[in-house]
Amino acid sequence: MRRTSALVLLALAVFFTALSPLLRWYAFPRLVKVPPNQYQAVVLEAKDATLLDYTTMKARKVPRVTVVQTLRGNVEASERIERTAGRDVVVWDTLSYVQGPDGRMVSRVPGRYIFDAHTQEPVHAPGETVDGDPVRREGIEFKWPFLTERRDYEYFDAQTRTSAPIHYRGTRTFRGLEVYFFEQTVPWTEVKFPEALPVEGVTPESVAATGTTRWYTTVRRFWVEPVTGAPVYGEEIHEEELRGGTLLGGRDKVTAFAGHVKMREDYIEHTVDLVRSRRTLVLLLVSYLPWSFLILGAALLALALRLEARGRRRAGPAPDAATTEEPVSA
């Protein structure tokens, strides 16, 4: 009976020990991924900002500028790309919508971001755009990979249509979560005018005909929860200028926008709660269950060996044939 129990425990020990690495290295990459139908909206605000009045072409102080960023999963497009990509793909139709204190549009920039559902690496396919322009992203955008590392990453900037390093600046605590702090500085760069401008009848082509150009710089900061790779907070110190041309009436430049854009408080709370719950689910596959099964397997193995040893001791030593043989009488 003891030997049977020991064999059963040994089989369970092998099973749980083998299951531990399978969860971490096989199940984790296949089960933990961004869902293709995810929808997310984030509202950011720049208080006491500077904004260009396009009717007078003069910069003025305003109490608030609001930026609404939406990410909408396009399931149909992702399934179509997956047929040729050979991996799980997520397609986000993005929109960055900026409005002034009166609720009127300042700019509207749509785009399409295509990436690997697990690694967040860009997947290059037709339809990858920013404001109607075909682009080829390198690096990440919006989200870091699961199990983010303490290192620099390439981050795509939608204004310049280029990628540049976003630097790891250390580990911090944000609302009770351990996060990695990343920062990227984009120097003054000439960028395109948005296709949708706030003045009716004015197009990027008509502005370009005046010789006026648009320039942009920003300091971009993210607080990223490393297990999920999700930013729980973000902000930008953002500046835009119009330079030269007849549109400015002889002035060298005028500020189009300047402000410290920060995530709104209610969206911070919602994001932190969401990331905290998803963090637990990821840790189940990557840490909690693998380590638990490994410890359980070791404990079952020790118990099986102990039962086997006790069974051998109870049986005692085998009798010696030389000592038990009866003497032969003369």
Are 23 and 42 within one domain? no
Closest CA to 32 of 227, 163, 226, 212: 227
pLDDT band at 317 (very low <50, low <70, confident <90, very high): low
Q: What CA–CA distances, in Å, run from 31 to 1, 277, 284?
A: 41, 16, 11
Q: Is residue 277 part of a domain?
A: no
DSSP notation for 46-100:
EEEEEEEETTTTEEEEEEEEEEEEEEEE-HHHHHHHHHHH-S-EEEEEEEEEEE-
- Whether 21 and 103 share a structural domain: no
Please give the average per-residue pLDDT across 219-239, as a whole number: 97
Residues 174, 225, single domain; the answer is yes
20 and 39 both lie in a single domain: no
Q: Are residues 258 and 289 in the same domain?
A: no
pLDDT grade for 319, boundaries at 50, 70 and 90 = low
pLDDT for 200: 82
Residues 102 and 36 in one domain: yes
> Do 220 and 132 belong together in one domain?
yes
* pLDDT the model gives residue 110: 96
Residues 18 and 43 in one domain: no
Mean pLDDT calculated for residue range 252-269: 95
Mean pLDDT of the chain: 89
Q: Please compute the mean of the pLDDT values over residues 212-237 and round it to a whole number.
A: 96
Question: In this structure, is residue 272 part of a structural domain?
Answer: no
**Judgement on whether residues 22 and 53 belong to the same structural domain of the protein:** no
pLDDT at 208 over 90: no
197: in domain: yes
Average pLDDT rounded to a whole number, residues 283-312: 82
Range of the domain at 310: 1-31+282-315
* Residue 177 covered by a domain: yes
Residues 203, 292 within the same domain? no
pLDDT at 328: 46
Whether 268 is in a domain gets the answer no
Do 27 and 69 lie in one domain? The reply is no
Which span out of 13-17, 170-174, 199-203 was modeled with the highest average pLDDT? 170-174
Indicate whether 52 belongs to any domain. Answer: yes
Task: Give the chain's domain count.
Answer: 2
321 lies in some domain: no
Q: Whole-structure pTM over 0.95, yes or no?
A: no
Residue 173 is assigned to a structural domain of this protein: yes
Residue 159 pLDDT? 95
pLDDT beyond 70 at 320: no
Classified as helix, coil or strand, 21 is: helix
pLDDT over 70 percentage in the chain: 93
Residues 44 and 167 in one domain: yes
Predicted pLDDT of residue 313: 67
